[in-house]
Structure 1
Amino acid sequence: MPIETAEPATALITSDIVLFGLIAATLGLIFWLASGPTPFWKKFFTWVPALLLCYFVPAFYNTVGLIDGEHNSLYNPIASRVLLPAALVLLTLSIDLKGILKLGPRLLFVFVAGTVGLVLGAIVSFQVMEWVHPPAVAGDTWKGMAALAGSWVGGGANMVAMREVYQVDATLFGQFAVVDVAMASALMATLLFLANRSAQIDARSGADTRAIDEMKAKMAAFEAANARIPTLADLMVLVGVAFGIVGAAHAIATPLAAWFAANVENAAQYSLDSAFVWVILIATAAGLSLSFTRARNLESAGASRLGTVFLYFLIACIGMQMDFTKLFDRLELIAIGAIWMAVHVLVIWGAARLVKAPMFYIGVGSMGNVGAAASAPVIAAAFHPTLAPVGVLLGTVGYATGTVIAYFVGQILRMMAGQ
């Protein structure tokens, strides 16, 4: 694992170690200010969620040239390949699967509606831009949209899989990656903002929140009855379990992905040749398995809190890859993404209103699609920390289905493009 990047010095900070320190210090400062040391900051964070700043402050660093958010080792491999699966283990380790199932079919309905909204959004955005500005969807634009569908229905691994399936040009792929980050960032910012006001929104819409309230109360009661000040042994066990499983997942995933690539004809189409997908699936499955054992008691030592710390660092590392100035290179692609996302939001909002689902279902259902396992638990935790495992489960569903659905979307767009 490299410590220093080998890329040319294009930013003020080029050392991964210094960058790590900057991101860690930034997160520490944000959460210290969020704790309300002065009346101003207490009021400020009433309106601006701390999680939102964890995303956009590193993005500002990258935009002004303080850091190089792309050419470093923090996101890949440290955050995405190590901290993300470790967070999944710790967040699923204490999961109350029966309690989540009690949330009922409405949650699944809203989540599926979000997926349908993304499929429809691809079709609608392509057709609208073909009417309004045909050059925007000319040529191989449909291939880039198929890759974007892989990211939004599944995750980054699914997006890369679609790039390989449809042989997306590197420049086009990069431009749609900017659209991906921009629209997903806007959606996350909106959901984080709404999470702080979910009680008022649910009250006005008449949403039925009893299942969520019961689950939060049950988890809070469990924590109150079993909480303790973590000892050194507790912390070492948490670290050992989390990173031990991460190591085992990588050890299994690499040869497993290679075997599928060599022996299964359509492995790439379903992302079965991606070691990262297997790492995520293995880590999640291991955490879920432990939740049925005495290891679930590690939650009282702070398992989900430590997992959430890893997630915050991951979000900061995702944010530092965003460059606000690149959004203006091809504005027509931003328009495609905006129309696409608007259709998704309208469909999932309408589905939620149809079944009187609470704002939490909209937030986790939407980000479970668009943000997958990296962002969905963050949005879920913004509503209540005990709900993070729900986001984890829905996010991993996206990984499992993203490539198949994106491939289907790509075939539709191919026909619409006349190719």
Structure 2
Amino acid sequence: MLAPESVVSQTNALITNDGVVAGLLFAILGFVFYTNTSEHPAFKKFYRFVPALLLCYFLPSLLNTFGIVDGNQTAVTDIAMDYLLPACMVLLTLSLDVKAVLGLGSKALILFLTGTFGIVIGGPIALLLVSAVFPEMIGGAGPDAVWRGMTTIAGSWIGGGANQAAMKEVYEVGGDIFSAMVTVDIIVANLWMAVLLYMAANSKKIDARTGADTSAIDNIRHRVEKYEAEHVRNPSLRDLMLILAIGFGVAGLAHLL
């Protein structure tokens, strides 16, 4: 008997070579980070209003929107999520100083856990309240269900962009709802950041008025600044290889287990 022909997915994308797609994505990210740190007045003014993180999501999505690449038919997505993202998560946790966090005391830990718990249950509560008033807004099915998108916002507010991407994969969030949630995340985060910056500029007055004891936080900040000043250096090839070895080595062990 003749073996059945393999099914080949068809795509109308302009670029189908995975190597070209990967190079294009890295070029876009390099452009964003380069211009974000540029001293050119036009770039400085632009990034004063437009966050670089938003561009890192938005610009690549345009490639898919205009048919330049097909995100569903490229292996770059799977490689990034299955290998690069786990390695990044490993490297992000290496700098966690558990002893210093525990040294903040019970009040700070309770505050942290309360905030985390509030973010986790905030999504379901928001969906419940909105569905009671505007039920037509809580739609979507399958990958584009609104609740799936809310998980990425919770992940972002708890652990940043890498955790947001991890939640996208864990809950199989669709591209359309994810793009909408990224926009919401950026807008809300920047509004809240404005409030935090205002409070930070007046932190001493606020602490004095509320009677807050920030000595533990100040001590950690001074320790971190002292450590960075003593150990700052340009990474060598050996350092970069060790970073890659630890990140991908632990990620590989996780795949094995």
The residue that corresponds to 1:20 in the other structure is 22
Equivalent residue, structure 1, for 2:96 = 95
CA contact (8 A) 2:146 2:177 kept: no
8 A Cα contact 2:88 2:247, kept in partner:
yes
The equivalent of 1:200 in structure 2 is: 198
8 Å CA contact 2:149–2:178 kept in 1: the answer is yes
Change beyond 3 A, Cα 1:137–1:248: closer
Aligned to 2:181: 183
Deviations 1:298-329 (A, max 9, x none): xxxxxxxxxxxxxxxxxxxxxxxxxxxxxxxx
Distance of 1:19 and 1:193 partners within structure 2: 34
Matched, 1:159 2:164: no
Distance 2:140 2:236 in 1: 60
Q: Is the 8 A contact 2:145 2:177 kept in 1?
A: no
Pairing partner for 2:13 from 8, 11, 14: 11
Q: What is the CA distance between 1:248 and its match in structure 2? A: 1.1
1:250 aligns with 2:250: no
Corresponding residue of 1:299: none
Q: Assess, with a 3 A threshold, how the Cα gap between structure 1 residues 232 and 158 changes in structure 2: closer, same or farther.
A: closer
Q: Which residue of 2 aligns with 1:83?
A: 84
> Which SS does the other structure have where 2:134 is aligned?
helix
Given the alignment, which residue of 228, 234, 240 partners 2:239? 234
Distance change (3 Å), C-alpha of 1:194 and 1:11? farther
* Inter-partner Cα distance in structure 1 for 2:213 and 2:18: 45
The answer to whether residue 36 in structure 2 is matched with residue 34 in structure 1 is yes
Count the aligned residue pairs.
227
The aligned residue for residue 407 of structure 1 is none
Taking the aligned partners of 2:246 and 2:139, their CA distance within structure 1 comes to 50
Contact 1:47 1:193 in 2 (8 A): no
Offset of residue 31 of structure 1: 1.5
SS at structure 2 position matched to 1:70: coil
CA separation of 1:40 and 1:148: change in aligned 2, threshold 3 A? closer
Say if 1:179 and 1:213 are closer, same or farther in 2 by CA, change over 3 A: farther
Bigger CA radius of gyration? 2
* Contact preservation (8 Å) 2:152, 2:181: no
- Stretches of structure 1 that go unaligned for 5 or more consecutive residues are 1-5, 161-172, 253-419
Structure 1 residue aligned with 2:118, among 113, 122, 145? 113
Rate the CA distance shift 1:14–1:226 in 2: closer, same or farther, 3 A.
same
Give me the whole-angstrom Cα distance separating, in 1, the residues matched to 2:123 and 2:140: 22
Decide whether aligned partners of structure 1 residues 144 and 234 sit closer, same or farther in structure 2, where only a CA change above 3 A counts.
closer
Q: TM-score, normalised by structure 2?
A: 0.73
Specify the SS of the correspondent of 1:224. Answer: helix
8 Å contact kept, 2:36–2:43 = yes
Inter-partner Cα distance in structure 2 for 1:30 and 1:139:
32
Kindly provide the amino acid, as one letter, of the partner of residue 99 in structure 1.
A
- Contact residue 149 and residue 181 of structure 2 kept, 8 A: no
Gaps of 5+ in 2: 1-7, 156-166
Whole-Å separation in 1 of the counterparts to 2:196 and 2:139: 41
RMSD: 3.3
Q: C-alpha displacement at 1:95, in angstroms?
A: 1.4
- Tell me which of 222, 225, 238 is aligned to 2:227: 222
Secondary structure of 2:171 counterpart: helix
CA distance, structure 1, for counterparts of residue 126 and residue 148 of structure 2: 14
Q: Counterpart of 2:121 in structure 1: which amino acid?
A: V
Q: Aligned equivalents of 1:146 and 1:41: distance in 2?
A: 36
In the TM superposition, residue 145 of structure 1 has moved relative to its aligned partner by: 5.5
Displacement, 1:22? 0.8
| Cα distance between partner residues in 1 of 2:191 and 2:151 | 26
Shift of residue 23 of structure 1? 0.9
